[in-house]
Structure 1
Amino acid sequence: MRDRFTVVGRATGCHLFEGDGTRPIHEENVRVRYTPERVEFPEEIGAWRRSIEAEEERKEASGLPHRWNNERFAVDRVVVTRTHLAEEPVFSLSLRDADYFDFLTTSLNLERQQENGLTLRKQYLEDRDPAEAPAWMNCSFGVNVALETGKDGRILFSRRSAQVAGPNSARWNSSANEGLAREHDLPKDGSPVRLHAVARRALYEELAVHRTDKLGLELLGFGLDLVNHQWAGFFRAVLPDLDEPTLRLRWTRGATDKWEHDRFEFVDADPESVLGFIADKPEDRWTPCAPALFYLALVRGAVERGNGDPSGRFEVEQAEQSVMSARGL
């Protein structure tokens, strides 16, 4: 029911819900509403969750590797509108309470047959619009960041560590990404969740980008991972005063979540180099939404070089055609 973002001849597992990279979604136009009420599973699905919780508790008690639970959010509703005069995009996100075991309950069982004979994927994601799935199917919202070093004009690709649980382990991904978590992202003063603040947290925890570093941060769009059914926000971050050697040196001195990635690749930030890197990696070694994120970042860079002219996006399309022609795609 939802089209799939296509790049270098590959149809990815990502639906681009909002944004084309030509203009950012301003922070004041991102409206996050939170209802402190927990998602409720149907009785059968709730039993699956209890089984997951019991198994992880058993492994923990036995001193075995296990997944730990943490408080997260479920996506209740996503609405995109426009401002009255300038017609700028306005994104409204409604959240409620969930946790990591809630997320595992659905993400690990999308192909599991229910008593009615249907899988979760078939019933909620294929027979109806996946963007309208019930909240208990939406226990993950991730912020994904494409990072560019302004000093040497490089863009960063990160490969998820095999130690990270889930279907995206050992795959090439965004520069940094974080799932919304109540402990970290729900302000104690009662103010709304801020997706830009989550993006900054991702940069700090995974890439050691500190609040004192000069940073240009723009929200470019939103996507829906149709393979794993996860919502994603797409950010472009530019560090004008940093370069690859500086960041790599920082990583040797430690980062909060250094273990989440096992490899980094910096690529020249021009469209042909970035799209060539995407094309040269096997298709199944990419997370579903990473190629869409980097494409939007390329478009935004091209539009900026063209003094804001949205037709700059065609520079990226031309580079894509060149990459495909050179590789016979």
Structure 2
Amino acid sequence: MTRDGITIGDLATDCHIFEGDGTRPIREENVTIIYEPGLRRVNLPVEVQQWRQDIEAEQKRRQAAGERYAWNNPRFAVESVLVTRTDEDEAPLVRMSLCDADYYDFLATSINLDRPLRDGESATLRSQYLTNADPVDAPSFLSCSFGVNVAVETGRDGKMVFARRSITVEGHNKERWNSSVNEGLAAIHDIPEDGRPISLASVAHRALREELAVQDGDEVELELLAFALDLRNHQWAAFYRAVLPELGSEDLVARRSKGVEDKWEHDQFRFVPADPDSVLDFILEKGSQKAWTPCGPALFYLALVRKAVIARGGNPSGRLDVEAAERRAVERLRSAV
């Protein structure tokens, strides 16, 4: 079984929505993350182990030479993501299992999906494990990253926040438009010291703080909308919608100008009216896949659906309002050509 990416207007994406459609949030208490520190480590094939060693040696050389280098932070590999339903209201129950990995494991696999293997003239990691197979069931060594992606809407002036990744970020998606903020699940930040389970909502709040300077004292309306899979780079992601009732776009600009922890990760921001027509115009006017990260457009689409459902008092038919806006956006774009 293969998986298809969603299409928005004429924009085909490499994002597969595994669970969630934006019409209702996934309750945090219904998400279970299974992880035991130090119990299991991701197992890389022999050839990939060599790629990892080469990456580590190169990063050490860069560090010694005073050049920009990638720090090897501890992170996780996704062993499985399973979804069932509650008996009462058929709400999703998500169970995710993780094991130990690090950033060099991620670089060795994710950026080398199409690198030829010695074992075959045309064989690659993608052709062996992902092509004509269900990527959801791919081995854990191909999933050494889990991203938390947040679509942010300001409350004071009703703007959706779009961010473009800078050229200085490692790995994929340099100079592509993306979610408002995003963070990879990291062992050094996201394992609670008191023994509680890992919380994806806490990662989302960390992303808001580190990239937009949204502080713990700020009001944030946060909802988990979906779990998705970046088919191009084989990366799992959680999609969140965050509304900042007390903040406007000028507040976020002012805060970033005074310093923010991960300011270097993005080189541009756009604040677009958060109605479906304006947001979809912005997404589609950027053109091809190359302008966007694989999951960015899908995240904002589901955020629009959630907002429309809320506006209709929780009626799932709000999704139809976004679909109508999508058709209008396509017509406007085609008529402008």
Q: Normalising to structure 1: TM-score of the pair?
A: 0.98
Tell me, what secondary structure is at the counterpart of 2:130?
helix
Measure, in 1, the Cα distance between the counterparts of 2:267 and 2:67.
22
Contact 2:4 2:14 in 1 (8 A): no
Equivalent position of 1:171 in the other structure? 176
Measure, in 2, the Cα distance between the counterparts of 1:153 and 1:144.
19
Q: Which amino acid aligns with 2:234?
A: H
Equivalent position of 1:98 in the other structure? 101
Say whether 1:223 aligns with 2:224: no
Say whether 1:45 aligns with 2:53: no
Alpha-carbon deviation of 1:127? Answer: 3.4
The superposition leaves residues 135-189 of structure 1 with CA deviations (integer Å, 9 ceiling, x where unpaired) of 1110000000000001111100000011111221110000000000001001112
State which of 315, 318, 326 in structure 2 corresponds to 1:312. Answer: 318
Tell me, what secondary structure is at the counterpart of 1:67?
coil
State which of 71, 77, 82 in structure 2 corresponds to 1:79. Answer: 82
Alpha-carbon deviation of 1:116? Answer: 2.1
What number of residue pairs does the alignment pair up?
329
Segments of structure 1 that go 5 or more residues without pairing to the other structure are none
Say whether 1:287 aligns with 2:293: yes
Measure, in 2, the Cα distance between the counterparts of 1:57 and 1:260.
22
Tell me, what secondary structure is at the counterpart of 2:217?
coil
The superposition leaves residues 261-314 of structure 1 with CA deviations (integer Å, 9 ceiling, x where unpaired) of 111000000000000000111321100000000000000000000000000100
Tell me, what secondary structure is at the counterpart of 1:38?
coil
- 1:60-209 mapped onto 2 (5 Å cutoff): 60-117=63-120, 118-209=123-214
Equivalent position of 1:265 in the other structure? 270
Runs of 4+ in 1 over 6 A off after TM superposition: none
Measure, in 1, the Cα distance between the counterparts of 2:67 and 2:324.
52
Measure, in 2, the Cα distance between the counterparts of 1:108 and 1:152.
39
State percent identity of aligned pairs.
57
Measure, in 1, the Cα distance between the counterparts of 2:299 and 2:219.
22
Contact 2:154 2:244 in 1 (8 A): yes
The superposition leaves residues 111-134 of structure 1 with CA deviations (integer Å, 9 ceiling, x where unpaired) of 111122110011111132111111
Alpha-carbon deviation of 1:226? Answer: 0.5
Measure, in 2, the Cα distance between the counterparts of 1:124 and 1:97.
21
Segments of structure 2 that go 5 or more residues without pairing to the other structure are none
Tell me, what secondary structure is at the counterpart of 1:328?
helix
Measure, in 2, the Cα distance between the counterparts of 1:290 and 1:247.
20
| RMSD, aligned CA | 0.9
Say whether 1:324 aligns with 2:330: yes
The superposition leaves residues 51-82 of structure 1 with CA deviations (integer Å, 9 ceiling, x where unpaired) of 11111111211222211110000001100111
Tell me, what secondary structure is at the counterpart of 1:126?
coil
Measure, in 2, the Cα distance between the counterparts of 1:164 and 1:64.
14
Tell me, what secondary structure is at the counterpart of 2:35?
strand
Equivalent position of 1:301 in the other structure? 307
Contact 2:11 2:287 in 1 (8 A): no
Measure, in 1, the Cα distance between the counterparts of 2:209 and 2:278.
26
Q: Normalising to structure 2: TM-score of the pair?
A: 0.96
